[in-house]
Structure 1
Amino acid sequence: MNIKLFIQRLEALHKPLADLYQTASILPWIPPDMLPQAFQELYSTSKMVQLAAEELYQQNEALKETQNLLETERQHYQDLFEYAPDGYLVTNPEGIIENANLTAAKLLNISRQFLIGKAMINFVCLEERQHFRHELNQLHHTDRTKELVIRLQQRHGEYFDAAFTVKVVRDQQTQAVHLLWLIRNIGDRQPTELQSAKNYSDLIENRPRYKHSKGENISLNNSVVWYICRGLVKLSTFSETGEEVLLGLAKTQMVFGSSMTSLSIYQATALSDVELVPIYASEILVTPKLSHTLLPKINQRLQQTESFLVISKKQLVEDRLNYLLELLKQEVGEQIESGTRFSVRFTHEDIASACGTTRVTITRLFGKLQQQGLITFDAKKHIILKNSEVRIQKSE
């Protein structure tokens, strides 16, 4: 029933009751305290109902105002979803599309009304569908946001490379109920834009510079990624026995930071005079151009870390040293007339920590390499690899 009409009817009932009460109180044939008392109670009750109705009306108005505010806010977020510059999809755990914004429909070249209910795999090129199914199954077992690069096919056969960011939504029983997908077309950027994004000066322009002398420890902060303008930085941790373990080398135009590792102990040391600029993680998240610029550099660090991990898997110390010297040759080697010279000086302790052995062992193996004529040292104790391949004969 309409609240206003209900109150009007209560008010209309209230007046006859009041009149009836006045009439009953003066009629001579009715006991003086019978009807007046009954009407008094009825009148009081109707008054209470009227007050309750008025309170209900006020509450109803407040609810309507709240509903209008919620509807306005809902429309605001709906507009953000619809007109976002990136494509958004909501699917069930099997990848069936339940909702999509206009950008996603445009990317896939299909009307949104025909997009709903279709399987996402229909838009994945045939060569990558098996990989997509595997990644979709893996999503059910993780709560972490996942990044994927998949080649998609539009409705009329056009292909493009898409970067996906996927998040799993779970119910109270931790069952996956929805997948949230953000889609970006990474194949339609103009070459001039890519070139500009990779430009060295663009990345460091208008940023403060921090200088560290050789041997200094560099302070790390989870909110900052350091970009190296000049120099070489050693990244390391410590084992349970307190021995330093070399994790990687960050050189000019590479990035490093504690936010890029899950290790509780992580140390950065300048192996030469170093010049750095800070890039805040929050800035990377909201600046697509910056994130696109840094992604290859982060990937470079990841590949180097994997290369250092390979060292620990080799059983013989000789093999570890052989692999490490070849790796350092690629990372910090510079060609000179007599071979390849490492641009920074590594101590025997540095080499030992990377190889997971003792300084004494490395000293002995370096002596063997020198006897074989495979390495030498310059006046500043920098390692020089001869042009022939370094290969230590294994101990018997």
Structure 2
Amino acid sequence: MNIELFIQRAEALHKQLADLYQTASVLPWIPPDLLPQAFKELYSNSKLVQLAAEELYHQNEELLRTRSLLEAERQHYYDLFEFAPDGYLVTNTEGIIQQANLIVAKLLNAPKHLLIDRSIINFICVEQRESFRCEINQLSQSDQTKELVVRLQQFHGESFDAALTVVAIRNQSGKINSLLWLLRHVHQRQQQDISLVDNENYLTENLPVDIYAKGENIPLNPFIIWYVRQGLVKLSTYCETGEEVLIGLAKKHMVFGANMTSLPIYQATALSDVELTPINFTEIGVTPMLSHILLPKIKQRLQQTESFLAIAGRRRVEDRLHHLLEILQQEIGESVADGTRFSVRFTHEDIANACCTTRVTITRLMGKLQQQGLISFDAKKHLIIKRLGARD
């Protein structure tokens, strides 16, 4: 039964009970004290059902609007990945290709569908394969970004020198489950420079820095992409009802910008004192090194957006809250003696907006988690997650 039909039937039932109750109350031959108590309770409960149905309808409408906004955001980031000027692919920890964009298919001279489920080692020249396997084994146990220059062999084609940037990605339980690869064709004179570059130092040493205080809105220029050197930035939009919707968190070493979204309303707010580096899109176009560095960071924002999109797909508010806390634990959690502490404070209103529900509901659910000993708060009201049980 859909929500609209449920509301219609609830309203019809309530009207019938109201008419029956009014009729029985005015009949002269029926003393008021003879009206069945059960009838009075039924009338009262039908009113509660009607109110609950209306609230359910409004929450469902809000959930659909939020899901639509997040889906548009996810699609935009996917397009940035798919049509990026550099090759990008995702493998499992053993190097088996799971995703590849158009540039990778072009560089390796193979249709995308033939790349999926093949080992990336198959495209490494034979003399380098053994050392490359060792690199993959080391990456599967490390969080460090690795820069490699290798000789790649095309699918039924020529070989060429390529610069690979690879980083291991952990799931919400902290286990490494995939490797992200940035692949670029390099000329002989570029090999040494790219293989020795330090991505983060390049961005911090060669570009300017702007500082914003906690609570400030960060200006969004369509020609500027922001790189976060220090701090945390909240990315949000607004739905038709005027309520704020959390769509992402840009932490240290991440990027964001107006040109990275298709949402008509997009806002960036400093959740702490932040240091940001502005990067002009025209610079990216004429500086291959910037493109080489920024593409993995754009992919990182895409993955985070998909995580927030998954929140809207949970029907129960409890499940949406549980999923949000898992994301925040992974994104901004820091280990303390009692568990994992959020590095910034989130109000119940912030959490309610992210979960597409009311502040009152979140306050009740958070209180329940606290009573169960799953969460607590420090002296600065920062949330500490002690443990969260697994959910389907």
Q: TM-score, normalised by structure 1?
A: 0.54
Cα offset for 1:278?
0.5
RMSD of the alignment, in Å?
A: 3.3
In the other structure, the counterpart of 1:193 is: 194
Cα offset for 1:195?
4.5
Which 4+ stretches in 1 moved above 3 angstroms? 120-123, 158-163, 186-192
**Which whole-Å CA distance do the structure 1 matches of 2:161 and 2:114 have between them?**
13
In the other structure, the counterpart of 1:223 is: 223
Q: Return the match for 2:155 from 138, 153, 156.
A: 153
**Which whole-Å CA distance do the structure 1 matches of 2:226 and 2:109 have between them?**
39
Unaligned runs of 5+ residues in structure 1 are 1-85, 87-119, 132-149, 164-182
**Which whole-Å CA distance do the structure 2 matches of 1:284 and 1:306 have between them?**
25
Unaligned runs of 5+ residues in structure 2 are 1-84, 86-105, 118-151, 165-182
* Equivalent residue runs for 1:1-396 within 5 Å: 123-124=109-110, 128=114, 152-153=154-155, 155=157, 158=159, 185=185, 190=191, 193-198=194-199, 200-386=200-386, 388-390=387-389
**Which whole-Å CA distance do the structure 1 matches of 2:192 and 2:340 have between them?**
35
**Which whole-Å CA distance do the structure 2 matches of 1:227 and 1:122 have between them?**
31
State the secondary structure of the residue aligned to 1:234. strand
Cα offset for 1:205?
2.0
State the secondary structure of the residue aligned to 2:364. helix
Cα offset for 1:126?
9.8
Cα offset for 1:221?
0.2
1:224/1:280 contact within 8 Å kept: yes
**Which whole-Å CA distance do the structure 1 matches of 2:286 and 2:354 have between them?**
37
Cα offset for 1:257?
0.4
Do the aligned partners of residues 376 and 290 (structure 1) sit closer, same or farther apart at CA in structure 2, a change above 3 Å counting?
Answer: same
1:121/1:129 contact within 8 Å kept: no
Do the aligned partners of residues 151 and 239 (structure 1) sit closer, same or farther apart at CA in structure 2, a change above 3 Å counting?
Answer: farther
- 1:296-324, CA deviations, whole angstroms, 9 ceiling, x for partnerless residues? 11111111011000000111111111111
1:229/1:277 contact within 8 Å kept: yes
- 1:207-257, CA deviations, whole angstroms, 9 ceiling, x for partnerless residues? 332111111111100000011111000000000000000000000111110
2:108/2:153 contact within 8 Å kept: no
Do the aligned partners of residues 201 and 385 (structure 1) sit closer, same or farther apart at CA in structure 2, a change above 3 Å counting?
Answer: same
- 1:84-118, CA deviations, whole angstroms, 9 ceiling, x for partnerless residues? xx9xxxxxxxxxxxxxxxxxxxxxxxxxxxxxxxx
State the secondary structure of the residue aligned to 2:262. coil
Q: How many residues align?
A: 236
**Which whole-Å CA distance do the structure 2 matches of 1:122 and 1:382 have between them?**
49
**Which whole-Å CA distance do the structure 1 matches of 2:237 and 2:276 have between them?**
21
**Which whole-Å CA distance do the structure 2 matches of 1:152 and 1:316 have between them?**
49
Cα offset for 1:121?
11
- 1:361-387, CA deviations, whole angstroms, 9 ceiling, x for partnerless residues? 11000000001000000010000000x
Do the aligned partners of residues 245 and 195 (structure 1) sit closer, same or farther apart at CA in structure 2, a change above 3 Å counting?
Answer: farther
Cα offset for 1:153?
2.6
- Paired-residue identity, %: 57
Structure 2 counterpart of 1:193, which letter?
Answer: I
Q: Which has the higher contact order (CA 8 A, sep 6+)?
A: 2
Q: TM-score, normalised by structure 2?
A: 0.54
2:163/2:194 contact within 8 Å kept: no
State the secondary structure of the residue aligned to 2:380. coil
Indicate the structure (1 or 2) with the bigger Cα radius of gyration.
Answer: 1
Structure 1 counterpart of 2:114, which letter?
Answer: E
